[in-house]
A and B are shown apart, each in its own frame.
Chain A
Amino acid sequence: NAGVMQNPRHLVRRRGQEARLRCSPMKGHSHVYWYRQLPEEGLKFMVYLQKENIIDESGMPKERFSAEFPKEGPSILRIQQVVRGDSAAYFCASSPGVATNEKLFFGSGTQLSVL
């Protein structure tokens, strides 16, 4: 039973390019969460999605960042016109539902480096 799969593990982009990070949740999970870990900081919540819906994007930067979780396929975190400050580790988690007692399962993360 595969866990949460994130790819790529490492992504290098030049300033101004687009970055696309993918997350395939665990089998049977329909809730996906994205977190960002900036250098020298802890992970922070960005966005929560269910299939085809954004439920909570209170942690997303207002510009250049977007996320989707289509009916088919992985969840995508998209960063347009990347800047050096976007360099970070991006983690995805999934759960079968959202409730106080639901357990989150995390992927290994994607390390984004912006040159």
Chain B
Amino acid sequence: AQSVTQLDSQVPVFEEAPVELRCNYSSSVSVYLFWYVQYPNQGLQLLLKYLSGSTLVKGINGFEAEFNKSQTSFHLRKPSVHISDTAEYFCAVDSGGSNYKLTFGKGTLLTVNP
């Protein structure tokens, strides 16, 4: 069975500060890893994904994530956040290679304050 743990339910930061949203997963097999973002009153949107290859993955809106197999982590980072980055962020894992049989974490609410 696979599972995802997002260690922080809420992360408040000030505008232009760096941010890291943490994600750890458990799976007995190779995984695909994803970060999704949900802005208020909208559906989830894919930020970035790791399938294979380089462990540093760059996504949209200046976000990036690093896959660390030994620590079973896939933390999301942005060097300088904007007010518009305020949203809920979900980490997800797919250990079946299907791209749809995803298990998500509970989400981290990022609030960017002026």
Residues of A within 8 A of B (CB): 3-4, 33, 35, 37, 40-45, 48, 56, 58-59, 91, 93, 95, 98-109
Contact = CB atoms under 8 A, between A and B. Distances in A.
Which secondary structure dominates chain B's binding surface?
A: loop
A107 B43 CA distance: 4
A102 B51 CA distance: 12
A42 B107 contact: yes
Interface residues of B, number: 25
Contacts, number: 68
Given A56-B101, A102-B99, A41 B106 contact: yes
Contacts of A109: 43
A42 B43 contact: no
A45 B43 contact: no
A74 B101 CA distance: 21
Nearest to A31: B100
Contacts of A100: 32, 51, 97, 99
